[in-house]
Amino acid sequence: MNQKKEDWLIARPVRDSQSEMAEIVLPNDANPLNALLGGRLMHWIDLAGAMAAHRHSRHYVVTASIDHMDFLFPVHVGDLVILRSSVNRVFRTSMEVGVKVWVENYLEDTNHHVSSAYLTFVAVDEQGRHMPVPPVIPESPDQQRRYDDAGRRREIRRANMERRKNHL
Protein backbone atom coordinates (compact mmCIF):
# COMPACT_ATOMS: atom_id res chain seq x y z
CA MET A 1 0.00 0.00 0.00
CA ASN A 2 1.63 3.23 -1.17
CA GLN A 3 -0.81 5.46 0.67
CA LYS A 4 0.59 7.47 3.57
CA LYS A 5 -1.13 7.19 6.94
CA GLU A 6 -2.03 10.89 6.80
CA ASP A 7 -3.78 10.46 3.41
CA TRP A 8 -6.49 8.24 4.81
CA LEU A 9 -6.99 10.41 7.89
CA ILE A 10 -8.42 13.26 5.81
CA ALA A 11 -11.97 14.13 6.89
CA ARG A 12 -14.75 12.74 4.70
CA PRO A 13 -18.38 13.82 4.32
CA VAL A 14 -21.19 11.64 5.67
CA ARG A 15 -22.35 11.00 2.08
CA ASP A 16 -19.18 8.98 1.40
CA SER A 17 -20.30 6.42 3.99
CA GLN A 18 -23.98 6.22 3.02
CA SER A 19 -24.92 2.68 2.07
CA GLU A 20 -28.06 0.85 1.08
CA MET A 21 -28.68 -2.86 1.19
CA ALA A 22 -31.75 -4.83 0.12
CA GLU A 23 -32.85 -8.33 1.06
CA ILE A 24 -35.88 -10.35 0.01
CA VAL A 25 -37.26 -12.30 2.97
CA LEU A 26 -37.16 -15.99 2.11
CA PRO A 27 -38.69 -18.91 4.04
CA ASN A 28 -35.29 -19.69 5.60
CA ASP A 29 -35.29 -16.17 7.13
CA ALA A 30 -38.65 -16.65 8.87
CA ASN A 31 -40.28 -18.32 11.84
CA PRO A 32 -43.25 -20.77 11.53
CA LEU A 33 -45.62 -17.76 11.23
CA ASN A 34 -43.72 -16.60 8.11
CA ALA A 35 -42.43 -13.54 9.99
CA LEU A 36 -38.81 -12.44 9.69
CA LEU A 37 -36.61 -13.75 12.53
CA GLY A 38 -35.35 -10.93 14.77
CA GLY A 39 -31.87 -12.43 14.73
CA ARG A 40 -31.78 -12.38 10.92
CA LEU A 41 -32.76 -8.69 10.93
CA MET A 42 -30.05 -7.97 13.53
CA HIS A 43 -27.53 -9.75 11.27
CA TRP A 44 -28.56 -7.60 8.29
CA ILE A 45 -28.35 -4.44 10.43
CA ASP A 46 -24.82 -5.40 11.48
CA LEU A 47 -23.81 -5.94 7.83
CA ALA A 48 -25.37 -2.66 6.67
CA GLY A 49 -23.65 -0.80 9.50
CA ALA A 50 -20.30 -2.43 8.73
CA MET A 51 -20.64 -1.36 5.09
CA ALA A 52 -20.94 2.31 6.08
CA ALA A 53 -18.12 2.04 8.64
CA HIS A 54 -15.86 0.32 6.12
CA ARG A 55 -16.61 2.89 3.43
CA HIS A 56 -15.75 5.71 5.79
CA SER A 57 -12.67 4.27 7.50
CA ARG A 58 -11.36 2.32 4.49
CA HIS A 59 -10.20 -0.36 6.92
CA TYR A 60 -11.49 -3.56 8.39
CA VAL A 61 -14.09 -2.87 11.05
CA VAL A 62 -15.48 -4.88 13.94
CA THR A 63 -18.73 -4.36 15.83
CA ALA A 64 -18.13 -3.07 19.35
CA SER A 65 -21.74 -2.50 20.43
CA ILE A 66 -25.31 -2.06 19.36
CA ASP A 67 -27.78 0.15 21.19
CA HIS A 68 -31.34 -0.70 22.07
CA MET A 69 -33.44 -1.99 19.18
CA ASP A 70 -37.21 -2.28 18.75
CA PHE A 71 -39.13 -4.13 16.07
CA LEU A 72 -41.83 -1.67 15.04
CA PHE A 73 -43.57 -3.37 12.13
CA PRO A 74 -43.81 -7.05 11.10
CA VAL A 75 -41.90 -8.30 8.08
CA HIS A 76 -43.05 -11.41 6.20
CA VAL A 77 -41.79 -13.88 3.63
CA GLY A 78 -41.76 -12.21 0.23
CA ASP A 79 -41.29 -8.68 1.61
CA LEU A 80 -38.36 -6.54 0.51
CA VAL A 81 -36.23 -5.20 3.38
CA ILE A 82 -34.24 -2.01 2.73
CA LEU A 83 -31.45 -1.04 5.12
CA ARG A 84 -29.87 2.42 4.92
CA SER A 85 -26.77 3.28 6.92
CA SER A 86 -24.28 6.08 7.39
CA VAL A 87 -21.60 7.17 9.83
CA ASN A 88 -23.04 9.63 12.36
CA ARG A 89 -19.86 10.55 14.20
CA VAL A 90 -16.25 9.48 14.52
CA PHE A 91 -14.25 9.26 17.70
CA ARG A 92 -10.55 8.29 17.64
CA THR A 93 -10.70 4.66 16.50
CA SER A 94 -14.45 4.13 16.67
CA MET A 95 -17.47 5.44 14.86
CA GLU A 96 -21.19 5.45 15.49
CA VAL A 97 -23.25 4.25 12.54
CA GLY A 98 -26.99 4.69 12.24
CA VAL A 99 -29.04 2.06 10.42
CA LYS A 100 -32.67 2.54 9.49
CA VAL A 101 -34.72 -0.39 8.19
CA TRP A 102 -37.76 -0.24 5.94
CA VAL A 103 -40.03 -2.96 4.58
CA GLU A 104 -41.53 -2.69 1.14
CA ASN A 105 -44.37 -4.83 -0.02
CA TYR A 106 -44.03 -4.33 -3.75
CA LEU A 107 -47.29 -6.16 -4.49
CA GLU A 108 -49.31 -3.80 -2.29
CA ASP A 109 -47.06 -0.76 -2.91
CA THR A 110 -46.56 -0.13 0.84
CA ASN A 111 -43.52 1.00 2.77
CA HIS A 112 -43.09 0.92 6.60
CA HIS A 113 -40.34 1.76 9.08
CA VAL A 114 -39.32 -1.50 10.76
CA SER A 115 -36.44 -0.63 13.05
CA SER A 116 -33.55 1.75 13.72
CA ALA A 117 -30.30 1.02 15.49
CA TYR A 118 -27.05 2.70 16.45
CA LEU A 119 -23.94 0.57 16.27
CA THR A 120 -20.38 1.31 17.28
CA PHE A 121 -17.65 -0.03 15.01
CA VAL A 122 -13.90 0.02 15.57
CA ALA A 123 -11.43 0.17 12.70
CA VAL A 124 -8.70 -2.47 12.93
CA ASP A 125 -5.68 -3.58 10.95
CA GLU A 126 -4.92 -7.14 9.83
CA GLN A 127 -3.67 -8.02 13.34
CA GLY A 128 -6.79 -6.63 15.03
CA ARG A 129 -5.08 -3.50 16.38
CA HIS A 130 -7.22 -0.37 16.58
CA MET A 131 -6.64 2.13 13.77
CA PRO A 132 -7.35 5.87 13.77
CA VAL A 133 -10.46 6.84 11.79
CA PRO A 134 -10.78 10.01 9.68
CA PRO A 135 -13.23 12.61 11.01
CA VAL A 136 -16.68 12.78 9.44
CA ILE A 137 -18.16 16.01 8.11
CA PRO A 138 -21.91 16.50 8.52
CA GLU A 139 -23.27 18.51 5.57
CA SER A 140 -26.96 18.95 6.33
CA PRO A 141 -28.95 19.99 9.41
CA ASP A 142 -30.16 16.38 9.81
CA GLN A 143 -26.59 15.05 9.65
CA GLN A 144 -25.49 17.69 12.17
CA ARG A 145 -28.32 16.67 14.51
CA ARG A 146 -27.24 13.02 14.24
CA TYR A 147 -23.62 14.04 14.84
CA ASP A 148 -24.57 15.96 18.00
CA ASP A 149 -26.89 13.18 19.22
CA ALA A 150 -24.10 10.62 18.73
CA GLY A 151 -21.91 12.51 21.20
CA ARG A 152 -24.67 12.41 23.81
CA ARG A 153 -25.29 8.69 23.20
CA ARG A 154 -21.56 8.01 23.61
CA GLU A 155 -21.58 9.69 27.02
CA ILE A 156 -24.59 7.56 28.05
CA ARG A 157 -22.86 4.37 26.82
CA ARG A 158 -19.71 5.26 28.75
CA ALA A 159 -21.67 6.00 31.94
CA ASN A 160 -23.56 2.71 31.62
CA MET A 161 -20.30 0.81 31.08
CA GLU A 162 -18.80 2.44 34.17
CA ARG A 163 -21.89 1.52 36.21
CA ARG A 164 -21.63 -2.12 35.06
CA LYS A 165 -17.93 -2.25 35.99
CA ASN A 166 -18.71 -0.96 39.48
CA HIS A 167 -21.39 -3.63 39.99
CA LEU A 168 -19.16 -6.58 39.14
pLDDT tens per residue, range 7-66: 668 999 999 999 999 999 999 999 999 999 999 999 999 999 999 999 999 999 999 999
CA–CA separation, 67 and 87 (whole Å) = 15
Structural contact between residues 132 and 92, judged by C-beta atoms closer than 8 angstroms: yes
Closest CA to 97 of 22, 163, 45: 45
SS3 (DSSP) at 129: coil
CA–CA separation, 67 and 153 (whole Å) = 9
Domain positions in the chain are 5-167
CATH of 5-167 given 3.10.129.10, 3.90.1420.10, 3.90.1150.10, 3.40.50.720: 3.10.129.10
Rounded to two decimals, the pTM is 0.90
pLDDT tens per residue, range 56-98: 999 999 999 998 889 999 999 999 999 999 999 999 999 999 9
